[in-house]
Amino acid sequence: MSALRLYVFDYGLFQVHENGRIIGIQGYFLDMPTGEKILIDAGFPPWYEEDAEKATKADGLDAFGRLLKLTSENFPKTQLKTIGYEPKDVTHLVLTHGDIDHIGRMHEFPDATVVIGKAERAMGRPRYFGGKPRMAWPENASYIEIDDDTELWLGVTILLTPGHSPGHLAFLLQLDHTGPVVLAGDAINRAEEIEQDRFTGAWDEKLVRASAKRLLDITASKNAWLVYGHDPAQWNSLRKAPEYYD
């Protein structure tokens, strides 16, 4: 049996107006030895490829920053192609939370089971950005709603980490060669958030601090590698698909 493989998907580059930091928009793909093909997050919506400037203005995202890179190469379908898969191969779509850069292409996987935080789905519609929920959760999909830490697949524990959003999800992976990996998502956006005790876009400051601390504690106890949600320096060092971690 082959080992679990973790792929990092490149969903584009964004520059935040505050201090000019350039962040990668990242998704993940888990190729399970038991056959499941798990996509974690789905990048920006398709209309951002058509006209990024118009789309960011329409959503008010231009008040936060600007897209530096977003082409057809930066969407799930194309990223999957780099590793020999198609959208129809995806068995599970995990949505860490409902922000604009994580749910954009979620409707392109109609055969996938959607895994989502129970509190996130209970919002009715994704948070999207700036109180403008332009998208709805997939209507005809099967759902697995997470309301506690859950080892849904062998070696993959989904961690409930509310705070950035009501039902934010993070992950603890066990890879054969790399060892334990914590995918923090936006529960810890970047290392600077911990250093400055300042969490970007938090829905609940108290909860996000508690979730961040828990992830740091898990990382320390497991001697794990912590992957942040959008850390500029770490993004440049990550292997991108078709390279992988195993």
* Residue bearing tokens 């792929």: 7
Homologous superfamily, domain 5-237: Ribonuclease Z/Hydroxyacylglutathione hydrolase-like (3.60.15.10)
Confidence band for 165, pLDDT divided at 50, 70 and 90: very high
Determine the pLDDT at residue 3.
87
User: Taking a C-beta distance cutoff of 8 angstroms, is the pair 199, 163 a contact?
Assistant: yes
Tell me the pLDDT tens digit for each residue of 120-155.
Answer: 999 989 988 877 778 999 999 999 999 999 999 999
Question: How much of the chain is in helix, strand and coil states, percent to nearest 5?
Answer: 30, 30, 40
Determine the pLDDT at residue 191.
95
**0.85 exceeded by the pTM?**
yes
The C-alpha atoms of residue 86 and residue 216 are separated, in whole angstroms, by 35
